[in-house]
Amino acid sequence: MEKLKDQVADYLRFGQVERGLSQNTIAAYQQDLTEFLDFLAEEDLTAWPSQALEIDAFLAKERDLGKATSSISRMISSLRRFYQWLVRQGLIQIDPMSQIDAPKREKKMPLALSQEEVTRLLDQPDVEKSLGLRDRALLELLYATGMRVSEIINLTLGDIHKDLALIRVLGKGSKERLIPVTDYALSWIDKYLPVRSKLLLKAGKDSDYVFLNSRGGQLTRQAVWQMIKKYCQKAGINKDVTPHTLRHTFATHLLENGADLRVVQEILGHTDISTTQIYTNLTQKHIRDVYQKTHPRMS
């Protein structure tokens, strides 16, 4: 066992000196390999396992301890790099890690706001002020269309077709799509446009972008992110809300109210419907909650 510990120490020195890895990375490798050594000691193994089954037994134990999938993935990555080094050093002949796949990443449920939280958020901007009016129009449009933040900051006046109640969006891969938009959201755009004209006049410049900063320039992703954080704080919404949260919320609320999954896929601009299907888990939870609250035999 001491020989194995010495080889781990040599590997960590190699990573630090030869590869210039950070102290944090070295510490992560050390933690993973120490756990592996502890397992080998418990199993009375005095050589590095050469069979994938033996390493699988170690990984199974890690899962039984409640390790997250991300932690298991990191462990596999650490062992894979270590075994490659062992082969290069001529310390082992067979690399069993080549037969072990990393676990599939867990799909995290997207965060969505309730309809009451959305109302509170949208009511926060002070529409008596110019930039407050701009912020209200932007938030209303995000929630009404499910646009990505990159799409809304690049939106131009020519993309808004008010007579058709449609917005043209250039999404990922320069793929164009048309999104329906509510009259209510369009009314806030109409209220904001005179403010936009004043911003351009004050800055002495011209621009086709719909949403501008106080200097008449294009609004940035960071500015939209900070805006949402500020209004969530004012609204007392204690969630990690980002511009993408409003996109998730838009999709979730459509499905909760009976929208077809394929329609939501088209509006969001998802190439693969499996990307959209993650929202069905949220709507199924909503259905269960409604059932439990309303069925007369639940209490």
* Residue 192 is a catalytic residue: no
* Residue 105 is a catalytic residue: no
Q: Which DSSP string do the residues of 112-156 spell out, in sequence order?
A: ---HHHHHHHHT-S-TTSHHHHHHHHHHHHHHHH---HHHHHT-B
Show the DSSP H helices in the chain as ranges: 2-17, 23-42, 52-64, 69-88, 115-122, 130-145, 149-153, 183-203, 221-235, 243-256, 261-268, 273-294
* Residue 247 is a catalytic residue: yes
* Residue 231 is a catalytic residue: no
The one catalytic residue among 83, 192, 231, 279: 279
* Residue 148 is a catalytic residue: yes
Q: Which two tokens stand for residue 185?
A: 């959201």
The one catalytic residue among 134, 148, 248, 253: 148
The one catalytic residue among 74, 168, 244, 286: 244
Contact residues for 162 (Cβ-Cβ < 8 A; gap 6+): 186
* Residue 253 is a catalytic residue: no
Among residues 56, 11, 64, which one has the least CA distance to residue 33?
11
The one catalytic residue among 13, 172, 175, 285: 172
Which residue numbers are catalytic? 148, 172, 244, 247, 270, 279
